Structure 1
Amino acid sequence: MSGNTFGTLFAVTNFGESHGPAIGCVIDGCPPGMALCEADIQADLDRRRPGTSRHVTQRNEPDTVEILSGVYEGKTTGTPIALLIRNADQRSKDYSAIAQSFRPGHADYTYWHKFGIRDPRGGGRSSARLTAPTVAAGAVAKKWLAEKYGVSFRGCMTQVGDLPIPFESWEHVPNNPFYAPVADVSALEDYMDALRKAGDSCGARIRVTASGVPVGLGEPLYDKLDADIAFAMMGLNAVKGVEIGAGFASVAQRGSMHGDSLSPEGFKSNNAGGVLGGISTGQDLEVSIAIKPTSSIITPRESIDTQGQPVDVVTKGRHDPCVGIRATPIVEALLALVVMEHALRQRAQNADVVQPVAPIAASAI
């Protein structure tokens, strides 16, 4: 009811505030017997961590994870896994000037009306700071899926603002702060430097894929795999659009082009994004999301205060000029949580289903 838990069989309950003592999550439903330690989780948290380049917020959080429960002698016990990430670099005074007003494009206004109270320090519960526990939970799901089925996840930025980013190779993604699949990111750096100097912000487009996904994950009608993926992605701060496979480009495609032909060697294309009828095909899951511009900027904007009076809002402090820069590990984590949920559901319901014919090769593309 309160909307703080994602999933049912692999349920992740997220807690904390941006400027509170700590943030974290409780994972309920992780299968027992998997080797797990903080290092398995920390690598993904380090990829999302703030302060890693001049192009993101300079809030310096180590994001060190602590496993409080659910692991004994290095293995999961099947009981709830509590993960804690302490906040170490809060600067709440930066938000005193906007405590009684509403940032345009931010959740300040809706939170205040819904709850009758809001935590203005860094956005409180609406802050993207709360994506760190999601990344931590996603790392646990990634590990189990990799060991059980060989599933792997990877993502990249394909556009920042109005600047498209061509795809060159996945190997470039870990080597730059943008998670861009290109060797030379100088144009992206110049773009972000000019944006920060102007006191403005921009959006981004992120692509994420999951490879090695088993055939048959997902349910007909209301629990379709792609529906749950879209639900998860729209739960990420600042996301305003989700595409599966060809997405909106399928509007201009003909049926003779869009339908992915099959052969004994595999599918010949992947316009469906790895999902047909809400059920995984065994091809790569292909997802893209659109992230809106950051709401907290120093450019003055018209708004109102809590008394309904007109004000000009200027948001000082440490903010990402493009929240999409650090979004790639978060999007990977969300996709992993969805796949994990459906993998456990498939194992519970259909583990004894025997196919008369082996699945075709996952993909020929």
Structure 2
Amino acid sequence: MNGAAVEVDARGIRDVLERYQENGWTDGLPVVPVSESIVEEFLAATPLDPEEVLFAIPHLNRELTVRYAAINAALAGCRPEYLPVVLAAWKGIAQEPNPRKGIWQSTTGTAPFTVVNGPVRERLDLNSRGNVFGSGHRANATIGRALRLALINVFGLRPHQLDQATQATPAKYTAVIGENQEQSPWPSLHTEYGFAEDDDVVTSFVIRSVMHIEARHTQEAEQLALDFTDSITRTGAFIHEYTNALLVLSPEHAHVFAGAGWDKDRLRRFIFEHAVRTREELARVGKDAISHHARWRLSSAHPDAIADTARGSGTPDRVPALSAPESVQVVVAGANNAGVSAVVEVFGLNPRLRPSSYSPVEYPAG
């Protein structure tokens, strides 16, 4: 390491970190010590009232305020200028259409997943290209971590306590990406919901997992779309009557579709039309019916089983995985260097509601 030496009380810092760990204020990794003056620096980066409530979980009787979000952003290692993105993500989470707040304690192991659009990506050096799901960029890492730390410290969602995840997902540490607008052949995600291409906007999802798709074998749009469809319709994804997905395309894959004259809507419609499984395939894994109570997929032999909506269609032996084309959202992210994309399994894409939550990023005037 090069550069001027800085004298610090390393032993004192380690003692503080151990104290934070003993109090359960971390996600398992060391956090950044925080003082009141540091919190004030963060609050100066937003026009919002420090006592404004951003998100609440009523059955836990706990609320997240702007001040608490700022404290956890500082703990996470954010810079103060990251705070408006953190707050926008929380506002998006609060709008997410799935009404079951208990989802945050789910045995599935849910995680917040954030997509950032607009010039703010460049201002904060937020990664939207190579290694987009990986390490190396402070903004991506710490903005997502700020959300998790607040879930731990404000809502008490700690493993083996209120967090009931059976195995969970690494995305519970952090999951923030920028959309690669510059290398996308299509309008960006946020423009589909009324924002301008150069608006700073955060999109919030609640997810189960991120599934890697290796598809370097074809330059045919239909073949590529069927490959993604097969991943979306895997039987392990048939948790409820329908499934939902955020398709994160590499620029290379996006340009395969665009080069064939496909826009996002055509891709969504194609996936919707082909995202089916036969009743026999579902019966083989015990998922040919749904629960009357929870709408989870289960065997038709189960006492709580009822027929799914496919039985009322003209093709009762072909069961749709998606309820509408809008059940698939499309984002372009990652480097333009290989045919590698991802399917993010998400909760709450209800076509009758806004399929996701969009929040503008607010900075103080001037």
TM over 0.5: no
TM-score, normalised via structure 2 length: 0.31
